[in-house]
């Protein structure tokens, strides 16, 4: 089937208001070039954590355990310092093995033969050139997925057999954990401590969770009129199109592919153009685990070509997207204008973090700091609006300033580094424009506000005080290491102000009062409310947003619903007279 009609292509600029933006790319000769790149997605991926009773989720706790120690021993040799960003970058001891498209079980070049560079955010230099898939490649991938669903063994396997494939996949992820984590750090810029100590274990855990669900998806018998037997069946939806973001590419791969495959679907997955490497690597591991050809197809490419083609393809039965709210609206419109395929959206946020006057200020400062700055601030659920009660406001601001100034920014492969570079030059410049907006609008810049070093995309941890709700830094998603601290005087006031946003992804509450905790958690319009913790995640916990932060939920049993159709089968209990 055709993927994008000529009318879609002719209309794209007017209909979707795509913006042409420039990204700085470095040639291998280190000569800087400007390359125009159409941006389909500016994803805000979800953060992660498991809490384990610590209250901080994985924020600041990501580096514990043998896996982290082993990874740091292998891939890092030097300690961090406050000036780590100025030091010569460590060369990762990992090979980039997969740069082609994965279609029908084989790694192949793009039909056009084109490639594009994926960059090291520490330097802006090219890591590798990756196949640039477009609408023709999406057609090939969807055709392979359709054959695998209509004719192949995957939907017809016993659920137990699908479970075993996914369990073998989880084992392979753990066996190759060091390489997977190093690729994620190299391509994305997040710290190796976070990638190795937090994300890789969570990916394996998520895959095992959905493997366990494969043989537990049951139908039911519905009561009817007494003359008929009614079975309600849950069947796989078919070919699922999935688009993952650049901020958590590995984790989002698991969140999307895990439930889709457990339910018996086939998948065409588009990677973010900024971070294709880890998804291609683990997709190969999934085939090593025994996944039949055509069941998972991975296309690297850009939004207006590969992304738009996938969203509007008549052969795709279901679409799941993680990214910005603006791009989510485009995805929804393309899906509606094609075959009305159902869509799951996990989108942006501007999450409030509320500190009551009875809070332990030192603990509140640390938790609020981690809630904002984790993953370089590139988290859709970052607690970037820090509401602090007026009685503790001044103390909180001073201690938040001190904490930000102590944050270690540098090469994410170095031990002790808390914050790596932003993803690319576009995001880097966008964040600095927001910082300037905060200064221009009258907020008090108490820490940071500038770049770190003269190489790569590093930004100082930045803290604003005396901010007002109407300022851009308090209203718009910055997606960077910028904390905006606002003052409030009472519970009803902070509920009203916290909810005065088009977003509703997450919120945090820090208090000793059970009354305040219960009142706030029920009044806040958000898909997740963390009380005296933040970014506590598990494969069992649903994640998604109210309002313009998304449609549907990921993770837990709720994600399975995204990939199942419900069918009623009605049969007479007795033969009709005409038989």
Active site residues: 346
Q: What distance in Å separates the CA atoms of residue 25 and residue 30, rounded to the nearest whole number?
A: 9
Nearest of 78, 68, 91 to residue 198 by alpha carbon: 68
Q: What distance in Å separates the CA atoms of residue 198 and residue 181, rounded to the nearest whole number?
A: 10
Indicate the helix (H) or strand (E) that contains 353.
Answer: strand 352-355
First to last CA, the chain: 41
The pairing of beta strand 239-243 with beta strand 318-322? parallel
The pairing of beta strand 32-38 with beta strand 352-355? unpaired
Half-sphere exposure of 398 (CA within 13 A, CB side): 5
Q: What is the torsional sign of CA 349, 551, 428, 87? A: positive
Nearest of 334, 315, 303 to residue 8 by alpha carbon: 334
Nearest of 195, 219, 197, 199 to residue 207 by alpha carbon: 199
The one-character DSSP state at 33 is E
Which phi-psi region, left, alpha or beta, contains residue 547 (left: φ > 0; alpha: ψ -120 to 50)?
A: left
- Radius of gyration, alpha carbons of the chain: 24
Q: What distance in Å separates the CA atoms of residue 102 and residue 305, rounded to the nearest whole number?
A: 17
Show the 3-state SS of 109-142: CCCCCCEEEEEECCCCEEEEEEECECHHHHHHHH
Q: What distance in Å separates the CA atoms of residue 342 and residue 94, rounded to the nearest whole number?
A: 39
How would DSSP label each residue in 474-510? HHS---SSEEEEEEE--HHHHHHHHH-SS--SEEEEE
């Amino acid at each position: 089937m055709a993927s994008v009609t000529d009318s879609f292509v002719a209309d794209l600029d007017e209909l979707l208001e795509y913006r042409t933006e420039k990204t700085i790319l470095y040639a291998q000769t280190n000569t800087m070039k400007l390359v125009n790149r159409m941006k389909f997605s500016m994803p805000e991926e979800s953060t992660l954590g498991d809490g384990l009773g610590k209250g901080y989720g994985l924020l600041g706790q990501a580096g514990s355990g043998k896996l982290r120690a082993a990874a740091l021993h292998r891939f890092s040799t030097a300690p961090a310092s406050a000036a780590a960003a100025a030091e010569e970058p460590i060369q990762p001891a990992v090979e980039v093995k997969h740069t082609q498209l994965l279609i029908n079980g084989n790694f192949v070049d793009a039909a056009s033969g084109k490639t594009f560079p994926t960059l090291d955010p520490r330097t802006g230099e090219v890591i590798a050139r990756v196949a640039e898939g477009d609408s023709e490649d999406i057609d090939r991938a969807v055709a392979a997925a359709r054959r695998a669903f209509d004719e192949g063994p995957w939907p017809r396997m016993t659920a137990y057999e699908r479970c075993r494939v996914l369990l073998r996949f989880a084992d392979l992820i753990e066996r190759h954990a060091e390489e997977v984590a190093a690729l994620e750090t190299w391509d994305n810029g997040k710290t190796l401590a976070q990638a190795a100590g937090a994300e890789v274990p969570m990916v394996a855990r998520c895959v095992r969770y959905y493997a366990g669900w494969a043989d537990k998806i049951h139908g039911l018998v519905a009561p009817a009129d007494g003359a008929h037997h009614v079975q309600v069946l849950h069947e796989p939806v078919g070919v699922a199109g999935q688009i993952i973001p650049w901020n958590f590419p590995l984790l989002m791969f698991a969140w999307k592919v895990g439930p889709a495959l457990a339910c018996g679907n086939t998948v065409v997955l588009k990677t973010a153009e900024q971070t294709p490497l880890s998804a291609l690597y683990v997709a190969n591991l999934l085939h090593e685990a025994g996944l039949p050809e055509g069941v998972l197809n991975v296309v690297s490419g850009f939004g207006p070509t590969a992304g738009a083609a996938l969203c509007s393809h008549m052969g795709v039965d279901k679409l799941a997207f993680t990214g910005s709210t603006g791009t989510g609206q485009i995805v929804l419109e393309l899906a509606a204008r094609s075959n009305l395929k159902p869509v799951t959206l996990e989108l942006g946020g501007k999450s409030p973090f509320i500190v009551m006057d009875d809070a332990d200020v030192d603990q509140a400062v640390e938790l609020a700091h981690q809630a904002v700055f984790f993953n370089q601030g590139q988290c859709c659920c970052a607690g970037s609006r820090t509401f602090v009660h007026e009685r503790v406001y001044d103390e909180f601001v001073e201690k938040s300033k001190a904490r930000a100034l102590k944050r270690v920014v540098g090469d994410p492969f170095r031990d002790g580094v808390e914050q790596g570079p932003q993803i690319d030059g576009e995001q880097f410049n966008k964040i600095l424009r927001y910082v300037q907006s905060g200064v221009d609008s009258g907020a008090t810049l108490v820490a940071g506000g500038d770049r770190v070093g003269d190489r790569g995309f590093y930004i100082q941890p930045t803290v604003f005080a005396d901010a007002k709700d109407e300022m851009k830094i308090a209203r718009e998603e910055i997606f960077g290491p910028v904390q905006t601290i606002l003052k409030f005087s009472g519970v009803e006031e902070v509920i009203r102000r916290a909810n005065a946003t088009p977003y509703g992804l997450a919120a945090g509450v820090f208090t000793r009062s059970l009354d305040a905790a219960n009142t706030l958690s029920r009044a806040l319009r958000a898909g997740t409310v963390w009380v005296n913790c933040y970014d506590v995640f598990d494969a069992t916990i649903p994640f998604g947003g109210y309002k313009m932060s998304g449609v549907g939920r990921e993770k837990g049993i709720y994600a399975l619903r995204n990939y199942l159709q419900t069918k009623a089968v009605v049969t007479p209990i007795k033969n009709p007279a005409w038989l």
